[in-house]
Structure formats: C-alpha cells, structure tokens
Chain A
Amino acid sequence: MYPLNNKNISIIIILLTFALSCKKEDASNATTGSLKLEIEHLANDTTLSLGKEYTNPSGEKMIFSRFDYYISNIILTKIDGTTYTVPRDSSYHLIQFDGLANPTITLKNVPFGDYNKVTFTIGVDSLKNTEDVTMRTGDLDISNGMYWSWNSGYIFLKAEGTYNSDTSKKFKYHIGLYGNSASGGGVNNVKTITLASASDYATVRSNIIPQIHLSAEVMELFKTPNTFSISATPMIMASPNSKQIADNYSDMFTLEHIHN
C-alpha cells in the first residue's frame, strides 16, 4: 500500500525529525540559577562568639548574648549595570546569629550573568511594615520576637548582652522605626547599603552556584560615625538615639570575596 520509495522515506525522515526534536527536554532553555550570600560575623576581626568577652571601641568589656537582624530588599547588579531584584515574597530574611554555621541566604531564579554588586536593606521597609497580616509569615512572623506590639513595627536589629564583666549589667539595643509619624518627625532607621567587588564577579550559570561572602563586624555598632558607650546608654528601644546605632551599623558589612 505504501511503497518504501524515496518520496515516502523522505516523508518518514521528516516526520521522525519533528517527533524527535519535539520530544527533546531542552535543558539549555533554562535562563536562571542560584546565588548564595554567606555572612560571617566578626568581633574585632575575629569570629564572633556569643558568651565570649570582647573590648568594644569605647574600651568597655562586653559580651553578646544575642545578635539578630533583618536583611531585605536584595538587589543584585551585573557588571553591565543591569539589575535583578529579588521578589518581595522571598526577600525578607531574619538572621539569628547562633555561632554555628555562617548564615547563608540562597537566592533562586537569578538570571544567568556576572554580578559584582549586592544591595540590601538592613531592617524592614515602611511598606512591609504596613502590609496586611496575611503577609506576616515565615521570617516576618510576629512571633519571631522581632516586633514591637505597642508601636506597630519590626525591630530591625536586636543586640543584647552584658558589660563591665558583670552579669547583672545588661545592655539591650532594639533598633527599629521606619519613619512612620503623622507629624513627620519620625525617626527612620531603614538603611540601604550597596557592596561592590572591585575585581571579582559572581557567575550565575546552569552549573555554577556562586557564593558572595560577606562579613559583618559587630563592633561597628559602637563606632563610625558615633563613638558609643554602653555604660552611658545601656538601653535603647524606640527612641531618637536609636539613630546613632543605626548610623553606626550601616557600615558593618564588607564584601570579602566571591567563590564561583
């Protein structure tokens, strides 16, 4: 009925080619991958340990018992200047230092490319601070202990401990405030910073998940631009002087290196 002549063979070959090419799962159509941000916490250039005594820039002996903070609104910039903004629903991360493995944030769906800058907010922006309660889940859950119930808003950074080698002398710095004030006098401690690598870049590829290694020097809480004494002010919560600490810690991060 259907002789295997040249015409028919050609038709079969053409049909087979279509069939085979349509079946192929095209892995090379992927255009996004992952990138990791790893944060190492330092105290005076050495690895931070909770419970260990250090001397702060004001010459005071002190011990950290807690160092927690939010990182959010992450933007990656390629060497050509174009950017990738991490979607809001995956851009809020609560870092709770525990002295175990370095906290690592894995960003997914990052477009392939070469990235040499990372921008992020220390804390939680004003929009998120006023969003519906159904958005307050995961790291943004009210029950994480990083929220002021009496003055609706997130605590951006919580540093607690003792000082003067005296376990009864406690310090507590709960830094928040996103500029919400009807009279416009509100303190705004939301800090956005950009870290750039001078020569390296992170290559996001289908087979490469680069790591951008950051460090956070916790002693920056106490200096530049404000030399801060714990014994003078051991407690700061929702008050105007929280600005001093926020201004200080906005330069606590450094982009150390990049692994590809």
Chain B
Amino acid sequence: MKEKYSYIFILILSVYSCQKIEKDPSLTSHFPPIVQSFRNDLLQEVDGFELGKKLFYDPILSKDSSVSCASCHQQQYAFSDGTKQFSKGIFGQLGRRNTPAIQNLIWQHSFFSDGGVAHIDFISYSPIESPLEMNESTAHIIQKLLKSAKYKKEFQKSFGDTIINSSRFSQVLTAFLKEMVSPNSKYDQYMRGEVMLNDQEKKGMVLFNQKCATCHSGVLQSDFKYRNNGTFSANPMDSGRYRISLSVQDIYLFKTPSLRNIALTAPYMHHGHLNTLEEVLNYYSQSVQSISPIDPTLKDGIILSKIEQTQIIQFLNTLTDETFLNNNRLKQ
C-alpha cells in the first residue's frame, strides 16, 4: 500500500518537473506586473519558440558566421558572459560594456545599460548590427535565411508560408527570449512561502532592504531607473543614458539592473570593472563618497561593516535560480 503511494508521489513529482517552469504563472504571481506588451496585447505569440532558439544558438547571424548570441550569452551564467569584463565579438574585437544577463525580460521597460531599446522585439538588432559584435546587416541575415532549406521549413511551420522578413525574425526571437524566465530562486521560494531563509540570509535581507532597496527595490531587486552611481569614473568616455536621450541631466546615468542570479553574473557594473560582490559592497562603502558628480542618495556612501557585507552577500546568493540555469528547454 505504502509503495503504491510512493509511486504516485514520484509520478506527480516527475509530471511537475516536466512542466514548463518558465510558463507557470503561479511561480511568478509575486512578480510585479508584466511591462512588455505584444500584438493585440496578448502574450500569446506565434509558435516560434523552437525557431527563435535555433536562431539564438546559430552563428549565421554574424557576418563571418563565427559568433552567435549564445557565444556571449551563456545559460550557466544566467545568459551573461561569465567572468569576462568585455565579450569577444567578430574578428576578436572586444565590446565596450559588460554583457548583461538575459532574464525576466518581459518585466522590464528598457534594455541595455543606456536603455537604448524599449521593446523586446528590437533587442537583437543592436548586437547583430554592432561592428564590434556580430557586424551583420539585417537585410543580409534575411537573405541567408532565405537560402537555407532548414530555415524556410521552420518559418513555414511557424507562419504557414515561407516568407521571411525582419518582422517575423523579431517575432520568433521574442518567442524564445521572453521565456528566459527565472522564477524559482531560493528567494522566490521563500516569497511563495515554500522554504525558510537561514539566519544569515534573513539578516542579509533586512540589511539589503535598509541599505540597497532604494534603488534595488521590489521582487526583481530594481526599479530600473537610470542613475549615476559613480561607476562612470571607470570609463568617463561612456556618457551612458545621455547618448540615447541627449538630455544633459542624463550624463553618466546608467540603468539600475536587476540583481537576479547576481552570484553568476560577475564582473559587475556596466564597465565590468568590479570582480566580486565584496568589491561592489566595498565600493559603495568606501569609494563612492569621493566621486563627483554622483547621485545624491550615494554622496555619503553606504557604510557597511564586514559582517554586514557578508550577510548581504548571503542574501544575494539566494537570488541564484538553479532551475533557470539548468532549464533544458532553454538549451540548444
């Protein structure tokens, strides 16, 4: 009798683990409202997830077919580029800003550290057309796809005919990108009442809410606003948000990022010059006071003792989501 129940339990467990975790709305019920909107305001997209994934992992998107999206966005690092300060694009060129993670995109209102792109459908064109990254033109990509029997068949499956254009290219990439959802870190499970945080993690969370959550607020640890946290000083040539808005008050402002999976996305800041979370907290505690101009909330720094820093880092580690990092559905 007991054995029968064990089998049933295992069966239920295995069914649950096969569920598309990134699509389960109960897992993100504690998230803020979705920000990105789509055709007819529905999140029902064209059936393009598999095709979008193929494109994500295919170096055909680069001029000499050497660099794919996945080259610099690796799942094990929450789709950032691991320990590299700058990623290597085509012809071995280095980028100019640290590669951000790709996660939870539909809850964000803008992309890139200067917010140059506001809609998920238009993200891919930036690395594709950047001379330092994939150095390719959209027109040429469409031509390459039209020459591929494999892709013609895939587009036929998604759209019902073999027309391939930039609009459809966007739609299928979005179908994949929007499902890079990270909803199951220890922190998420705690927020859903499924697990408890340990003593250090709890203390770290309290400290984090007191000292960091002015900017890194809410369930995604960011209000996504543009701020000058002094890291422009690592590269004063990069004017940040100003380059997009051309508003002088935006000089040296960069987007406040989410801190999800932060343990995996070193090095830190738009310039990638801080290698560890300890260095980041030291920076806020000791260095930021001597930088000008600076956001007014940071002019006196965020003073943290070594113990407090350790506790905050314990809390930040609870933002790691193994389910997301190992999600087979997002793998090639």
A184 to B130 alpha-carbon distance, docked (Å)? 27
Q: Is the CB of A152 within 8 A of B116?
A: yes
Whether, in the assembled complex, A177 has its beta carbon less than 8 Å from a beta carbon of chain B, the answer is yes
Shortest distance in angstroms between A149's beta carbon and chain B's nearest beta carbon? 4
- Please, what's the 1-or-0 string for B134-171, where 1 marks a CB less than 8 Å from any CB in chain A? 00011101100000000000000000000001110011
Closest to B142 in A: A143
Q: Is the CB of A240 within 8 A of B167?
A: no
Q: Is the CB of B116 within 8 A of A145?
A: no
Instruction: Point out the residue from B118, B128, B171 that lies within 8 Å of A152, measured CB to CB.
Output: B118
Residues from chain B with Cβ under 8 Å of A151 in the complex: 116-117, 243-244
Q: Is the CB of B249 within 8 A of A149?
A: no
Shortest distance in angstroms between B276's beta carbon and chain A's nearest beta carbon? 30
Instruction: Point out the residue from A134, A145, A183 that lies within 8 Å of B39, measured CB to CB.
Output: A134
Interface size on A, residues (CB 8 A): 27
Q: Is the CB of A152 within 8 A of B119?
A: yes
Interface Cβ pair total, 8 Å cutoff: 89
Q: Is the CB of B122 within 8 A of A149?
A: yes
Residues from chain A with Cβ under 8 Å of B128 in the complex: 149
Whether, in the assembled complex, A185 has its beta carbon less than 8 Å from a beta carbon of chain B, the answer is yes
Shortest distance in angstroms between A189's beta carbon and chain B's nearest beta carbon? 11
Instruction: Point out the residue from B118, B119, B166, B250 that lies within 8 Å of A183, measured CB to CB.
Output: B250
Q: Is the CB of B137 within 8 A of A132?
A: no
- Please, what's the 1-or-0 string for B238-268, where 1 marks a CB less than 8 Å from any CB in chain A? 0000011111111000000000000000000
Whether, in the assembled complex, B125 has its beta carbon less than 8 Å from a beta carbon of chain A, the answer is yes
Closest to A182 in B: B245
Whether, in the assembled complex, A207 has its beta carbon less than 8 Å from a beta carbon of chain B, the answer is no
Contact A185 to B139, CB < 8 A, known contacts A133-B119, A133-B121: no
Instruction: Point out the residue from B38, B165, B249 that lies within 8 Å of A141, measured CB to CB.
Output: B165
Instruction: Point out the residue from A133, A149, A177, A185 that lies within 8 Å of B167, measured CB to CB.
Output: A133
Instruction: Report the 3 A-B pairs with minimum CB-CB distance, sorted nearest first.
Output: A185-B247, A149-B125, A133-B121
